Amino acid sequence: MSVDSPKHEMLANRLAEILLKLNLDERPSRQELAAEFKVTERTIYRDLNRLGSIVEQLPDGRYQLVSQYRGKLKPKDLQSFAQLAGVEQLFPEASPQFLVALLDTLCQGSLLVHGHQYERFKPHDKSFDQLNEAVAGQRVCRLTYSDKPRELHPYRLINKNGIWYLAATEQGQLKAFAFSRISQLKVTEQSFTPDATIQANIENEDDIWFSREKTEVLLSIAPEIAYYFRRRKLLPKQELVRELESGGLIVSSQISHVDQILPLAQFWLPRIRVVEPAWLRERLETVLRDYLEQK
């Protein structure tokens, strides 16, 4: 099953809802869950197995979250964990022990997942673990990035559309660093005090562009692709402005950088059109003209 398929999305949502029930100290049975989600009892059995040792079965056949996690997770944490637990390719290993460690990490708030496509990596698992520990322990990191030595204060590991990034400050400025381009990592013994404003910025941002200056973009979506934009927010801070009689949509997006929206607009051409701002529409038209001239 493709990890960005509707089936995977349904699985992640179902796991999140099951976890939410357990987190609220509910004790459902497999039969009750199967009836609620309109799936077979065998499917629920597989779902519960995916959650590994964080879930325990009671003598009467009902299930509960093990005590150390019960009531400690926020809905966003549950959604992230469900997405991760549903995709073996996301992390170096997906054993029950690893998922327990992952849940501990989510309780500490060091991971975020945005999007529904995932990156598998094997060579740098140790570095990922070290960064994860540095985030949790608030330790200063020294590393090489883009052939340049850097000293960073790590805040969060973020998966955006399948690519892992480290959200960290460099000389007080919040930036995103692609995990695959990090080398020569050294986690120091030096600690730092996280800035609450920066933490809130990371938490509230649904992309890896952390600029506080946002540009509102209005886009016209053709009826043929409107379904995809109704089903899921494909654009940063996407909001529905209005539905058109044709079946199309006008949607808005808040961006910090043109690269947040131009690649997606190019992908959907000619069924998507930038309405405002004019300079962005002209930029997209220039890209399209250059492409046609090359052909």
Same domain, 225 and 194: no
Same domain, 129 and 194: yes
Q: What is the mean pLDDT of residues 239-268?
A: 89
Residue, of 279 and 98, whose pLDDT is higher: 279
How many domains, in total, are found in the chain?
Answer: 3
Same domain, 179 and 236: no
Residue 114 resides in a domain? no
Answer with the one of 30, 59, 87 that is the final residue of a domain: 87
pLDDT at 118 over 60: no
Please tell me the predicted confidence (pLDDT) of residue 203: 78
Residue 274 resides in a domain? yes
Per the CB < 8 A criterion, the answer to whether 102 and 137 are in contact is: no
Same domain, 249 and 196: no
Residue 118 resides in a domain? no
pLDDT at 140 over 80: yes
Cα angle 30, 116, 98 (rounded to 5 degrees) comes to 60
Name the DSSP letter for residue 104: H
For 165, the token pair is: 């990034």
Same domain, 75 and 139: no
Run of H or E residues at 148: strand 148-160
Please tell me the predicted confidence (pLDDT) of residue 107: 53
Q: What is the mean pLDDT of residues 234-251?
A: 92
Residue 101 resides in a domain? no
Q: List the domain range (segments joined by +) for residue 279.
A: 215-294
Same domain, 145 and 179: yes
pLDDT at 176 over 80: yes
Please tell me the predicted confidence (pLDDT) of residue 114: 56
Q: What is the mean pLDDT of residues 187-199?
A: 93
pLDDT at 63 over 90: yes
Q: What is the mean pLDDT of residues 203-224?
A: 82
Whole-number average pLDDT of the chain: 79
Same domain, 151 and 171: yes
For residues 116-127, b (16+ Cβ closer than 10 Å) or e, as one string? bebeebeebeeb
Please tell me the predicted confidence (pLDDT) of residue 24: 76
Per the CB < 8 A criterion, the answer to whether 236 and 261 are in contact is: yes
Residue 209 resides in a domain? no
Please tell me the predicted confidence (pLDDT) of residue 82: 58
Q: What is the mean pLDDT of residues 99-108?
A: 53
pLDDT at 191 over 60: yes
Q: How far, in Å, are 147, 205, 283, 284, 291 from residue 266 at the CA level? A: 31, 23, 11, 8, 11
Answer with the one of 184, 204, 224 that is the final residue of a domain: 204
Could you tell me the CATH number of the domain that includes residue 160?
2.30.30
Residue 96 resides in a domain? no
Residue 97 resides in a domain? no
pLDDT at 96 over 70: no
Please tell me the predicted confidence (pLDDT) of residue 92: 39
Residue, of 126 and 221, whose pLDDT is higher: 221
Whole-model pTM: value is: 0.49
Answer with the one of 58, 87, 116 that is the final residue of a domain: 87
Same domain, 163 and 235: no
For 8: left if phi > 0, alpha if psi spans -120 to 50, otherwise beta; the answer is: alpha
Same domain, 251 and 221: yes
Residue 240 resides in a domain? yes
User: Which of 4-18, 76-90, 201-215, 230-244 shows the lowest mean pLDDT across its residues?
Assistant: 76-90
Please tell me the predicted confidence (pLDDT) of residue 152: 97
Report the distance separating Cα 101 and Cα 43, nearest Å: 25
Same domain, 131 and 178: yes
Same domain, 196 and 219: no
Residue, of 85 and 138, whose pLDDT is higher: 138
